[in-house]
Amino acid sequence: MPRGGGTMTERVVVAGAGPVGLIVALVLARAGIPVLVLEAASAIAQAPRAIVYHPPTVEVLDRLDLLPAMAEAGLLKHTYQWRSADGEIIAGIDSSALQADDTKYPFNLHLGQHRLAEIALAALLRYDAAEVRFGHRVTGVAQTADAVRIAVRGPNGDDEIRAPWPIGADGASSGVRQALGFSFEGTTWPEWFVATDIRFDFESHGFAEANFILDPVHWAIVPKIDRSGLWRFTYGEPPDVARETLRARAPAKFRALLPGGAVVEPDAFAPYRVHTRCAPSFRANRVLLAGDAAHVVNPVGGLGLTGGILDAAALGDAMVARRRSAANDGALDHYARERRRIFLDVIAPTADENKRRLMETDPVKREQDRARLRALAADPAAARAMLLSTQRLVGTPGPV
Ligand SMILES: Cc1cc2nc3c(=O)[nH]c(=O)nc-3n(C[C@H](O)[C@H](O)[C@H](O)COP(=O)(O)OP(=O)(O)OC[C@H]3O[C@@H](n4cnc5c(N)ncnc54)[C@H](O)[C@@H]3O)c2cc1C
């Protein structure tokens, strides 16, 4: 059984048992650093959200020995298509555009993020130095010179925990970020993103393993989730539609978009408002932010959790470096600076361009997009560059 050392006061406290909080906790536990995860909910959240993991995140999952279980439960995706709402295939590419030594991971991994969180939780709990408390909400953080006081509300009432280096991985509405007084500047996009999990045989209708339906009204994102026949079908609804009417409108949307006008009963249904927002810093003295607590982005192209998992790995490594040498405080600064730069310079503009193209209303721009996609598909070097482009999300390593 793996074991960690250290006293309780050295323990790193992580707010949030989402995928990001659990992965940063796992990096720390594997390095022998005691860690306590406080999760407000009573269990891992099951809502349909991220399912796509790009090669740089697959590398993190592999390093943490999570990849075998995830690949077993999920799907290794190799094919993409861009389609029109009436079923025309505009362009398609696949991982055969990659060369033998391009990457150890010539695929995207698909699996619901709740399964990732469950697999990471099971791995974390193998470490005696790791503890996860569900039903414990962080309600405040206050910094002193040598520690942070964390206010926690649990089943037995209010408590206070002192921790030297707490991490806020408590999602887009982060209480930790708010307790720091940080703003969350950016955009809330007007339209609804309606995420559904459905069972439909898309492949017999010529779909790839990941599909983008480009249309100003009937846009959709259609990736295969796993090998059980489950697909994520995320489509748009206009901004002014009331949330409570969205479920009743779903059959009409399926009829308009599924081949043959099929109507299916979704296994899961969740409407979202999506945002592009970023905290002014990912570090406030002793408190660090990671994942959606630090930045959020629209989900087109699957870059939100991708950025979060890369944050988790980088922050875990920075904390291990700092633990090795207290003088290495620069590792935490590097984490905060570099991950924020990657979000602002790479993740947010890429995701926002993906979103624009998906639902572009200008016919001239739509035609230009189609021409660019056809050129991409016709040029193996361009397709290869696109498949390798998520390497830019990794950033430069900090002090070790
Ligand atoms: C429809 C949709 C599809 C998406 N698809 C993709 C995709 O394919 N690829 C991708 O990379 N990203 C995708 N994303 C984005 C992705 O879901 C998020 O980036 C991801 O969930 C962030 O993980 P996290 O751990 O930072 O936050 P969360 O998953 O939100 O986890 C935060 C946790 O903190 C807990 N918590 C909250 N407040 C407190 C508190 N005060 N105290 C203690 N605990 C607290 C919450 O209960 C939760 O368990 C998608 C998002 C949506 C909506």
Q: Model confidence over 107-124: pLDDT tens digits?
A: 999 999 999 999 999 999
**Domains of the chain, each with CATH number or no CATH:** 7-48+69-74+112-184+276-357 (3.50.50.60), 77-110+190-273+360-392 (3.30.9.30)
Ligand 1 centroid to Cα of residue 363, in Å, is 35
Using CB atoms within 10 A of its CB, is residue 6 exposed (0-12), middle (13-18) or buried (19+)? middle
Ligand 1: residue whose CA is nearest its atom 49? 18
Ligand 1: residue whose CA is nearest its atom 20? 305
Residue 322: pLDDT over 50: yes
Distance of alpha carbon 89 from alpha carbon 206, whole angstroms? 9
Q: How far is CA 282 from CA 104, 196, 288, in A?
A: 30, 32, 6
Q: Which residue is it, tokens 């077993």?
A: 72
Residue 169's closest CA among 380, 312, 360?
Answer: 312
Q: Which of 170, 176, 192, 358 to mutate to test the pocket of ligand 1 (most atoms within 8 A of CB)?
A: 170
347 lines ligand 1 (CB under 6 A): no
Strand order of the sheet with strand 75-77? Answer: 52-53, 108-110, 75-77
Distance of alpha carbon 152 from alpha carbon 39, whole angstroms? 10
Tokens of 361: 């209303």
Tokens of 374: 């056809």
Distance of alpha carbon 221 from alpha carbon 193, whole angstroms? 10
Tokens of 276: 């592009």
Distance of alpha carbon 123 from alpha carbon 119, whole angstroms? 6
End-to-end CA distance of the chain: 27
Q: Which residue is it, tokens 């940063």?
A: 24
Considering the chain, what is the average pLDDT of its residues? 94
Q: Which residue is it, tokens 């040029």?
A: 379
Ligand 1 centroid to Cα of residue 268, in Å, is 17
Residue 8: pLDDT over 50: no
Reduced to 3 DSSP states, what percent helix, strand and coil does the chain have, rounded to the nearest 5?
A: 40, 25, 35
What are the backbone dihedrals phi and psi of residue 174, each rounded to the nearest 5 degrees, phi first? -30, 115
Model confidence over 166-198: pLDDT tens digits?
A: 999 999 999 999 999 999 999 999 999 999 999
41 lines ligand 1 (CB under 6 A): yes
Q: What is the pLDDT of residue 364?
A: 98
Tokens of 298: 């629209």
- The closest-lying atom of ligand 1 relative to the alpha carbon of residue 38 is 43
Ligand 1 centroid to Cα of residue 166, in Å, is 18
Beta strands in 247-359 (DSSP E): 268-278, 283-284, 287-289, 295-296
State the Cα angle at 336 between 113 and 291, rounded to 5°: 15
Dihedral angle, C-alpha 134, 140, 144, 149, nearest 10 °: -30
Confidence of residue 326 (pLDDT cuts 50, 70, 90): confident
57 lines ligand 1 (CB under 6 A): no
89 lines ligand 1 (CB under 6 A): no
20 lines ligand 1 (CB under 6 A): yes
Ligand 1 centroid to Cα of residue 177, in Å, is 15
Model confidence over 39-67: pLDDT tens digits?
A: 999 999 999 999 999 999 999 999 999 99
Using a pLDDT cut of 90, give the percent of the chain over it.
Answer: 92
Q: What is the pLDDT of residue 79?
A: 96
Ligand 1: residue whose CA is nearest its atom 29? 18
- The closest-lying atom of ligand 1 relative to the alpha carbon of residue 57 is 11
Q: What is the pLDDT of residue 5?
A: 37
Q: What is the pLDDT of residue 9?
A: 52
Q: Which residue is it, tokens 């017999």?
A: 204
Q: What is the pLDDT of residue 100?
A: 85
328 lines ligand 1 (CB under 6 A): no
310 lines ligand 1 (CB under 6 A): no
Dihedral angle, C-alpha 118, 309, 353, 279, nearest 10 °: 110
Residue 291's closest CA among 23, 47, 75?
Answer: 23
276 lines ligand 1 (CB under 6 A): no
What value does the mean pLDDT take over residues 163-167?
Answer: 94
Model confidence over 233-280: pLDDT tens digits?
A: 999 999 999 999 999 999 999 999 999 999 999 999 999 999 999 999
Please report how the helices 363-378 and 380-388 are oriented relative to each other, as an axis angle in degrees rounded to 10.
100
Ligand 1: residue whose CA is nearest its atom 38? 170
* More confident call, 227 vs 137: 137
